[in-house]
Amino acid sequence: MIPIRPVTANRVVTRDTGKTDGGNTPHFDVLPPLALYIHIPWCIRKCPYCDFYSHEKHSVLPESDYLDVLRRDLELSLPMIWGRKVSSIFIGGGTPSLLSAAGVDKLLSFVRECLPVLPDAEISMEANPGTFEAGRFKSYRESGINRLSIGIQSFNQELLHKLGRIHDADEARNAVEIAQRYFDNVNLDLMYGLPEQTQMQLQEDISTALSFGTQHLSLYQLTIEPNTYYFKHPPALPDEDVVDGMQKWLEEATADAGFSHYEVSAYARSGRQCWHNRNYWLFGDYLGIGAAAHSKITLPDQRVVRQMRLRNPELYMRNIAQGIPLEEQFDVPAADLGFEFMLNALRLMDGFSSVLFTERTGLPISILDKPLEKASGLGLLEVSPVHIQPTALGKRFLNDLQQIFLPD
């Protein structure tokens, strides 16, 4: 990747990948569905495992100023998406539940003023148990939030302490109870393979999560990422055999509870899949506003554009006044579109149709004939003229499967 240079008041960095289209030029008959992502970059405390772009809140949250800047960012983006309807909205972070009830209402109000949001749009918001107040979350629901995603990670007090979470086990349970009181579509984020975690502790976590009647579970194995505290100070994690046992048990336990495993880390009851995230995995379009937000937009002139907003919240807010929200923007080379599609879509347990590949990349599925043949020959993919799906082996070795589709 070409290094990102600072943005000045009159220049946006663009990237020249130096790649040709490999003899194929994308052509889109229909533009993909469009989602909106809104990034709230502050949290109360940075967790030792977290590599998301967020800042600890050391003073009063500049809520009013930031919301004004978000509106301006959205207005500057309108020419790229003019006339397109929004099928889902996701407010992520950081910790979006640091916003006041009035702030969330203001945010969703100006989004609706600027964009045609579908009446049945999924509108999600991330929340952390340490920020829960019943009255405030009731107001969030009344403002239009219809799906809540809670960062529980564990219900075990000892494990929460090791993870550096700001909430305790009682607050975690209380948060889920409040959420289920006002929302009928709740996701719980839980992690496994935690420092010195036993399988019994994992089973207790999942049993607790299921006891609330939760509609969706996001179950992530803890991985040590660069630029985190854990990377510099690695904790003692369970060995591979223990983690493999955890994964197998999760598959059985969630299936027995009526959940479908529809994506690598996502499990849902019937009708409760996360449509915003599915849009990512199916290579749909999304506009991201807010500090450090990313966008992927298909344009009517047959280009696919990626953008990244300025990452530093203060710089982002300051430069918006000059009409400069971006740190980087580039056209995705046609030679990369097939790999980018497969990188996302192969995460889906049920696979995808070959027609969808053409719709979302603007390219014929035949450009992947060689890697598809190789992956099929290795027993990683089931390939038919109309459908492509990872095998059980392909799901287990997903990274190896995805790498087969890297462009030459």
Structure confidence by residue, pLDDT tens digits, 127-165: 999 878 888 899 999 999 999 999 999 999 999 999 888
Q: Is the pLDDT of residue 205 over 80?
A: yes
pLDDT for 12 equals: 45
**CA dist 164 → 46, 110, 195, 228, 296 (Å):** 8, 35, 12, 12, 33
Instruction: Give the phi and the psi of residue 115 in degrees, each rounded to 5.
Output: -130, 145
How far is it, in rounded angstroms, from Cα 275 to Cα 268?
11
Q: What share of the chain is helix, strand, coil (3-state, %, to 5)?
A: 40, 25, 40
Dihedral sign from CA coordinates of 297, 300, 304, 307:
negative
Among the listed ranges 1-5, 361-365, 402-406, which one has the minimum average pLDDT value?
Answer: 1-5
Residue 247 CB neighbours (<10 A): 14
The whole-angstrom separation of Cα 181 and Cα 319 is 41
CA angle 259, 260, 262 (to 5 degrees): 140
**CA gap 289, 69 in Å, rounded:** 10
Task: List pLDDT tens digits, range 315-367.
Answer: 999 999 899 999 999 999 999 999 999 999 999 999 999 999 999 999 999 99
What does the pLDDT read at residue 18? 53
- Residue 2 above 50 pLDDT? no
Residues 6+ away with beta carbon under 8 Å from 367: 22, 24, 338
| Domains of the chain listed by start with CATH number | 13-22+29-279 (3.80.30.20), 350-403 (no CATH)
Give 381's strand partners.
Answer: 390
User: Cα(75)–Cα(94) distance, rounded to whole angstroms?
Assistant: 23
Q: Report how far residue 23's alpha carbon sits from residue 301's, in angstroms, rounded to the nearest whole number.
A: 18
- 183 touches 141 (CB < 8 A): yes
- Number of other CB atoms surrounding residue 58 within 10 Å: 7
- Residue 145 phi, psi (nearest 5): -65, 125
Closest C-alpha to 34, from 104, 113, 114, 89: 89
**pLDDT recorded at residue 192:** 96
Question: What's the pLDDT score for residue 1?
Answer: 27
Please give the model's pTM, rounded to 2 decimal places. Answer: 0.92
Q: Residue 321: its pLDDT value, please?
A: 85
Distance in angstroms (rounded) separating the CA atoms of residues 127 and 133: 11
Six token digits for residue 327: 């740190």
